[in-house]
A and B are shown apart, each in its own frame.
Chain A
């Protein structure tokens, strides 16, 4: 039995099949890249798994438990975390309270005060300590992405969906984020990385799955995926192919 299993997961909006009959599994402690062109259904797939929107059809189970009709807060209690592609900080709170909220409501045994204390090491880990007492609204985009990551870590997840956490970051910031993602995987957390930057996908993922128009069109090692003609055509485009041959 895998940690997370999807069977024929589908969702349509009106006539549009945003996610179309996706069947796959996720194993503990691995970094899985989830790639595909814009509008392929990546974010929608995460929304389906975490209960943000209901499935049109199909089945999702997590450690053997069915997640159909689950609510997002319940997904969090089961150990699923996600960051939002469009960051959603609690803008009127400081960084500490943002992370403390995640600690307080995802697991028992905390008071607001103890959650604030426990938030500090997590904030340190994502490198936000100098801004710990700034309001989230005052952070730069790069910092808000790190805050999303800190909140995801704070719920002590078994699996984390990272929806383009590197978009808009510079290369030093991306290296930093990649290192942190590797560390989390080493701790046994499954990472599902939605990412447009192929460099990042190639360097940290052990497996890559590819969506196109809602369908899962490829699943394999980064090297296999990079060679797969269907993927190259659908997603990477001819330019990437030319560049690879030119190297």
Chain B
């Protein structure tokens, strides 16, 4: 029950950002929503199913380019974003069907290779993507700075709300039950009648959809994308760290982890510009060693209790 309250508080809290009238704060809130979408999505495959995907950036970039290219053709924003989701679902299902027979670090490396592959495709399909020159995405209309910031904030916020609802429904449903069985003992899961290939592929495809839609919103938000930017490996790594912060396996945890990360990163960036990635690295090591079940287990840890997942 408490996770629904936490999610409600987080969503309402984020929605208050435009009330401040501060465009910097709104930019941070938009970014937080974007990463929360990605962390919760990663949790579906990496946390719930136990397949550590490093393909997040592939779907982000795929969504950004799908939506961006459609926008240059004059397609409206909601349609181009929905299209990004559909394309990512299909592509992720195909990639998942092929790669999900690998396990552990083999799977991780193979998904990482997908990021490189899609980046190279985006780089070389110059006619479509503009290649290394990047792609300019036209503004819908001249809204003014604040109205435009609000538009993209609410687009990202709405996407987060949608992602959170879908993740929670999946977690509680028969699908989530199957994924949890697969994570814990895949052979035994098959033996009680679970079509593991089907469920894993579904989880991977779903984990791609919302990331791609976030990429689509991002492309229109920043008006210009290039392969190195939207297929950035950090877009793969950060959501994993965020899910670690929140405690792997919980989508609400991943969302909270994303917000904590974005806030912490901002503080660190401002104060320790030279050493920021070092601090992020140390945080990861510290988390894995001392809080493997995330911030949510901190109170147990402080009271010296054993933590069981």
Contacts and interface: CB of A to CB of B under 8 A. Distances in A.
A155 B195 CA distance: 14
Interface stretch (B102-110, B184-192, B254-262): B184-192
B192 A102 contact: yes
Interface in B173-196: 173-174, 177-178, 180-181, 184-185, 187-196
Given A101-B177, A104-B177, A111-B174, A88 B192 contact: no
Contact of A84 (B173, B180, B188, B193): B188
Contact of B180 (A50, A93, A102, A155): A93
A106 interface: yes
Contacts of B308: 135, 137
Interface stretch (A68-76, A165-173, A174-182, A201-209): A68-76
Given A92-B309, A93-B180, A135-B308, A105 B187 contact: no
- Residue from A81, A105, A112, A154 with most neighbouring chain B CB atoms (10 Å): A105
A62 to B, nearest CB: 15
Interface size class of A (residues with CB under 8 A): 20 to 34
Contacts of A75: 191
A76 B180 contact: no
Contacts of A112: 172-174, 177
A240 interface: no
Interface string B18-56: 000000000000000000000000000000000000000
Nearest to A161: B191
Q: Is the interface of B mostly helix, strand, loop or mixed?
A: helix
Given A92-B184, A92-B309, A93-B180, A76 B191 contact: yes
A151 interface: yes
A222 interface: no
Contacts of B173: 112
A73 B184 contact: no
Contacts of B193: 73, 76-77, 102, 105-107, 155
A118 interface: no
Interface in A54-88: 71-77, 81-82, 84, 88
Contact of B188 (A74, A88, A107): A88
Contacts of A81: 191
B187 A90 contact: no
Nearest to B191: A72
Contact of B192 (A74, A111, A137, A154): A154
Interface string A90-124: 11110001000110111100011000000000000
A88 B193 CA distance: 15
A71 B189 CA distance: 12
6 contacts: A84-B191, A88-B187, A89-B188, A91-B185, A93-B184, A151-B192
Interface of A: 50, 52, 71-77, 81-82, 84, 88-93, 97, 101-102, 104-107, 111-112, 135, 137, 151, 154-155
Given A92-B180, A92-B309, A151-B192, 15 more contacts: A76-B191, A77-B193, A88-B185, A89-B185, A90-B181, A90-B188, A91-B185, A92-B184, A97-B177, A101-B189, A101-B194, A105-B178, A105-B192, A111-B174, A112-B177
